[in-house]
Structure 1
Amino acid sequence: MIVLFDGFCVLCSGFARWLKHQYEGNVQLKAMQSDEGQELMKKHGYPADDPDEVVVVDGQTSMSGASAVLYILKNGGRLSRFFNFLLRGLPKSWIRAIYRVVANNRYKWFGRRDSCTFIPD
């Protein structure tokens, strides 16, 4: 599984580091702004010029936004599966709405880095 995240977003970079720990290295993390991230975004039909949602590519399947986060949590370690269990109790429309609010305000609430975060494999 490959997770494409906004490398300038403090929240997104922190989530990516947490995923690396949850998946014990069994996930590839790529900043959307990296050359490889841009290529994958275009290949799977996501706008590469405006990274707005986390994207997951797993084989030939891809998803973004709240669906991607739920997929990531469902397939991670015990803690992430617990978070997935909690979120699954909410209506999907609420999960999508909460995701949009956080995504739209992520720089304001959590900050924006001056340079893109690189997370080594």
Structure 2
Amino acid sequence: MQKPLEQLIQDHHIILFDAECVLCSAWADFMIKQDTHYQFKLVSVQSNIGQQLLAYYSLPTDHFETMVLLENGQCYTESTAFLRIIQRLDSPYASLKYASVIPKTIRDFAYRRIALNRYRLFGKTQQCYRVTPETQQHFLLDEALI
């Protein structure tokens, strides 16, 4: 069944992540384990659908400096995206939502320091994140648009 991009955005809470980044792939693994209620769909920014979603929100499609959360048609980035995601998980992770009392400028500064140095600190994979039959239900794949 074919769904237009706008419908997918309305139907799902989408997390866009850099599937070549070791830290970002570890984040995807964390979400697969912790999102037991299947609240989010993961999308690689390198995938066709990831590229279309980035372009739809006028975000860069050739370099990736932030995780992106698409929730109810709204686009969230940096520390705000992280906090909105984490608050929907079960304890003890949901308690990290209280970090929102830290001013956004400080949170985003810290987020950017990690994001801009993630390849140097954590490495870059030679291949994109691999979706397996066991993890497929956590992902929104290119076939969703076909």
Distance apart, 1:46 and its partner CA: 0.9
Instruction: Measure how far apart 1:88 and its partner are.
Output: 2.5
Residue of structure 1 in register with 2:57 after alignment: 44
Gaps of 5+ in 2: 1-12, 138-146
Which has the greater radius of gyration? 2
The aligned counterpart of 2:29 is 17
TM-score relative to the length of structure 1:
0.90
* C-alpha distance in 1 between matches for 2:57 and 2:93: 25
Deviation per residue, 1:43-87 (Å, 9 max, x gap)? 1221111111101111211111111111111222223212222x2
> Does the 8 Å contact 2:65/2:112 carry over to 1?
no
Structure 1: any 5+ residue segments left out of the alignment? none
Question: Which amino acid in 2 is paired with 1:9?
Answer: C
Separation in 1, partners of 2:112, 2:95: 22
Residue 26 (structure 1) shift = 2.6
RMSD of equivalent CA atoms: 1.4
The normalised TM-score by structure 2 is 0.76
SS of residue in 1 equivalent to 2:58: coil
SS of the residue corresponding to residue 8 of structure 1 reads coil
CA distance in 2, matches of 1:118, 1:66: 26
* SS of 1:28 mapped into structure 2: strand
Is structure 2 residue 14 aligned with structure 1 residue 2? yes
Query: Does the CA-based 8 Å contact 2:14-2:70 persist in structure 1?
Result: yes
Which amino acid in structure 1 is aligned with residue 124 of structure 2? R
